Structure 1
Amino acid sequence: MELKEDNIINIHHFLPHREPMLMADYILELTPENVITSFVITSDNIFVQNDQFVEAGLIEHSAQTSSSILGQSFFANPESNTKVIGFITNIKKIEIFGLPKVGDKIISKASLISQYENICNIFCETFLGEQLLIRTEISLFIQELKS
């Protein structure tokens, strides 16, 4: 997928995560049922060991990509001071085929399978170029924190 400045969305508007736990740089496409994100692996990432992004990092990246589908309803207004909490409630399936290295840009594509209120089931795949790195089916829960 070609990255174009005019269709890049700041992920901070859709996820509560911040450094050092933010595992996605940009949202390239976002609809109520689908999301595509990008992430460049840097040497200072907490999930990098021996210049590779480890399995736990790929899983966290998949979860954050997936949660932006549900999270968009909480962060529709970029000026809002909404605080949310989210959890992985279930991982139905994980297949890991490869690990990216420092400097690689990975692209993830997630699709909503089902949703009931603040719980959703999402299918996500992450690629390095044409190479599939990870395939997951994950369930997530997100809830707004009341002050």
Structure 2
Amino acid sequence: MAENLLHHPITSYETIINLIPQKEPFVFVDTLYEYTDLTGVTGFTVPDKNVMMDGDVLSESGLIEHMAQSMSLHRGYQGSLSGQSKPKTGFIGVIKTVEIFGLPKSGEVLKTYVEILHEILNVTSVSARTENERGEVIATSEMKTVTVE
């Protein structure tokens, strides 16, 4: 397994915002815990108020967006390492599978593990697994993201 290239987690809101193309109120990641060329571990503390909240619970769409933005954060950090001044824009091209086993409540801290499965030109196939703060898997997905130059 590749070595984590982060010496300490990135938790600064300003740094995270500069690594992803998304902006408020549509930000669903707040920490980069680990980074390797093909994997990453991200975090997100579910807010009290958010466009994707359903009462005090993050909706399915919000959870899927968090997984996609976890990939975006990995990509943004990768780009920053190679000298890119701003993150490339991307979008979900295809959601191959998504399984949601539970929805997190506001205040819960999520941890998501992303892995690049393969890449062809600007299309990346990625898997994601999201756990709650008790280490229980609450969602998994496999999707293809498309990066726009």
Assess if the C-alpha contact under 8 Å between 1:69 and 1:112 holds in 2: no
Assess if the C-alpha contact under 8 Å between 2:127 and 2:140 holds in 1: yes
Question: 2: CA distance between counterparts of 1:21 and 1:78?
Answer: 25
Alpha-carbon shift at residue 79 of structure 1 (Å):
8.1
Alpha-carbon shift at residue 72 of structure 1 (Å):
3.4
Cross-structure match for 1:3 = none
Match among 109, 118, 122 for residue 105 of structure 1: 109
**Structure 2 vs 1, CA of residues 34 and 27 (structure 1 numbering), >3 Å: closer, same or farther?**
same
Q: Secondary structure at the match of 1:137?
A: strand
Gaps in structure 1 of 5+ consecutive residues = 1-5
**1:7 partner letter:** H
Alpha-carbon shift at residue 13 of structure 1 (Å):
4.0
Q: Secondary structure at the match of 1:57?
A: helix
**Structure 2 vs 1, CA of residues 115 and 69 (structure 1 numbering), >3 Å: closer, same or farther?**
farther
Assess if the C-alpha contact under 8 Å between 2:76 and 2:87 holds in 1: no
Question: 2: CA distance between counterparts of 1:117 and 1:61?
Answer: 24
Q: Secondary structure at the match of 1:74?
A: helix
TM normalised by structure 2 equals 0.84
Assess if the C-alpha contact under 8 Å between 2:129 and 2:141 holds in 1: yes
Instruction: Say which is worse superposed, 114-123 or 67-76, in terms of deviation.
Output: 67-76
Assess if the C-alpha contact under 8 Å between 2:18 and 2:87 holds in 1: no
May I ask how many residue pairs the two structures share in their alignment?
Answer: 138
Q: Secondary structure at the match of 1:72?
A: helix
1:53 and 2:54 aligned:
no
1:142 and 2:113 aligned:
no
Q: Percentage identity across aligned positions?
A: 29
Pairwise mapping of residues 1-147 of structure 1 onto structure 2 (< 5 A)? 7-9=8-10, 10-76=15-81, 80=85, 82=86, 84-128=88-132, 129-144=134-149
Gaps in structure 2 of 5+ consecutive residues = 1-6
Q: Secondary structure at the match of 1:75?
A: helix
Question: 1: CA distance between counterparts of 2:71 and 2:78?
Answer: 13
Question: 2: CA distance between counterparts of 1:29 and 1:95?
Answer: 24
Question: 2: CA distance between counterparts of 1:30 and 1:12?
Answer: 17
Assess if the C-alpha contact under 8 Å between 2:20 and 2:87 holds in 1: no
